[in-house]
Amino acid sequence: MEAEKEYTGMPRIGDKAPEFKAVTTQGDIDFPNDYKGDWVILFSHPADFTPVCTSEFMTFASMEDKFLNANCKLVGLSIDGLYSHIAWLRSIKDKIEYKGMKNVEVKFPLIEDITMEVAKKYGMLQPNEDSTKAVRAVFVIDPEGIIRAIIYYPLSLGRNFDELYRVVIALQTADAFGVATPADWRPGDDVIVGPAGSCGTAEDRMQGKEDMECKDWYFCTKKLDKDIVLKRVLKK
């Protein structure tokens, strides 16, 4: 039972991101201390030289500048050695073309985790899926080192990277403006205002005395201009 817990335990939303030091394709890192002040996506993949992972790394690398412009850095991990990582990333750059992407250079760090230490800390190993390969885990970590979102995919399912970017922008928007974001929210869409804290506030909202639209006392939205959102969350 103890061995099973070691594999399946995982941090939760709101927890401090577990700390670790590791060797990567971009040098040694001390995580998350090296990333204070930045948002981070820490993600795992099952193995080097596998096709789904290759498509994912090409997509992430092609979108890296977009994430960096949103103050979000990328850090990858698999249970493979450093030299395997380097050889695989060179192969991607030299040989692989996918959806019009080619000569793609992966510049963000890819962690060597042959001891599985980091994968175990983050619950990236799911024994019922595979006991020796990390599933496709995604941890979105804020500038204070707090885990804000967790998304898990099985080995066979490639991730939606537009959604990962949307998550980062939505979390930053919620923090910056004190709102929530509804289903399928994109910058420029209406945002959700938190429920009224008193009967008086609820009545004021329903009578249109506040700058929002209420369908009922608990469901109120307001406009939030796209340019205002992007000006706040994106770098100049």
Catalytic site residues?
A: 53
The verdict on whether residue 166 carries a ligand-binding annotation is no
Instruction: Give how far Cα 227 sits from Cα of 42, 78, 169, 173, 187, Å.
Output: 28, 38, 13, 12, 8
Q: Would you report the helix, strand and coil content of the chain in percent, each value rounded to 5?
A: 35, 25, 40
Spatial CA neighbour of 23 closest among 120, 107, 118:
118
CA distance 57 to 108: 10
- Long-range contact set of residues 18-23: C-beta below 8 Å, sequence gap at least 24: 18/121, 18/122, 20/117, 20/118, 20/121, 22/111, 22/112, 22/113, 22/118, 23/82, 23/111, 23/112
- For 140, the enclosing helix (H) or strand (E) is strand 136-141
CA distance 133 to 155: 9
Side by side, the strands of the sheet bearing 27-31 are: 27-31, 20-24, 110-112, 72-78, 39-44, 136-141, 147-153
Q: Do the beta carbons of residue 193 and residue 220 sit within 8 Å?
A: yes
Binding residue ranges? 136
Binding residue ranges for substrate? 136
